[in-house]
């Protein structure tokens, strides 16, 4: 990131408010992310946390955005990544708030989600006996909430 001063952060905060009052929540969220990044560059972690949380609120997909859902998802992921870094700096890497999502659920890396998905299996079972015409049946594990969420996230990546 280029050199940053307090004026850069003030401009980003002002533009955030401008777009928010104009009803363009997606642009306001993008500027809140910039304000948070500028605060991080200045070492103002509490301010950064505040701006990033505001950005998440503004980029809430349930709020009816004018941009595509892919743009909102990208913005939310970028903001969450910044917020996680800020919380690690403020609270330490082992604090429970660092290992939770903004929605309060457990945080997962891509690797842990893939590990969760590896538990979804389909087995073809064959009834014991002789002959090739033995009956078979399938057993498919049912995804739990975490696995269902991981599948939903993978579906959004493909779209």
Q: Burial of 129 by CB count in 10 Å (0-12 exposed, 13-18 middle, 19+ buried)?
A: exposed
Q: What is the per-residue pLDDT for 149?
A: 78
pLDDT tens sequence for the chain (159 residues): 445 555 787 888 889 989 988 888 888 888 998 898 888 888 888 888 888 888 888 887 666 555 566 777 777 778 777 877 777 777 776 665 555 555 555 666 666 667 777 777 778 888 887 777 888 888 888 888 877 877 887 777 765
Its domain, for residue 115, covers 110-158
3-state secondary structure at position 90: helix
Beta-carbon contacts of residue 79 (< 8 Å; ≥ 6 apart) = 29, 32, 33, 36, 52, 55, 56, 59
pLDDT of the residue at 112: 66
Q: Is the residue at 131 inside a domain?
A: yes
Strands (E) located in the chain? 122-126, 136-140
Question: How many independent structural domains does the chain possess?
Answer: 2
In a domain, 98, yes or no: no
Specify the pLDDT at position 105: 59
Does residue 64 lie in a domain region?
yes
User: Are 33 and 78 part of one and the same domain?
Assistant: yes
Residues 15 and 75 in one domain: yes
Mark whether 10 and 69 lie in a shared domain: yes
pLDDT at 96: 59
Tokens coding 40? 């991080």
Q: Residue 82: what pLDDT?
A: 80
Predicted model pTM: 0.54
pLDDT of residue 61: 65
Tell me whether residue 102 is in a domain. no
Give 113's Cβ-side CA count (13 Å radius): 14
Q: What is the pLDDT of residue 2?
A: 45
| Per-residue confidence (pLDDT) for residue 109, from 0 to 100 | 63
């Amino acid at each position: 990131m280029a050199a940053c001063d307090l004026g850069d952060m003030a401009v980003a905060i002002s533009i955030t408010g401008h777009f928010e009052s104009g009803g363009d929540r997606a642009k306001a969220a993008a500027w809140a992310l910039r304000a948070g990044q500028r605060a991080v560059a200045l070492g103002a972690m509490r301010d950064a946390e505040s701006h990033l949380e505001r950005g998440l609120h503004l980029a809430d997909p349930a709020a009816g955005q004018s941009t595509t859902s892919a743009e909102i998802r990208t913005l939310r992921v970028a903001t969450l990544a910044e917020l996680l870094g800020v919380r690690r700096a403020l609270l330490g890497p082992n604090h429970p708030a660092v290992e939770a999502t903004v929605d309060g659920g457990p945080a997962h890396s891509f690797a842990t989600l893939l590990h969760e998905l590896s538990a979804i299996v389909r087995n073809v079972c064959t009834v014991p006996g002789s002959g090739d015409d033995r009956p078979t049946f399938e057993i498919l594990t049912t995804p739990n909430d975490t696995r269902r969420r991981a599948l939903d996230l993978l579906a959004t990546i493909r779209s």
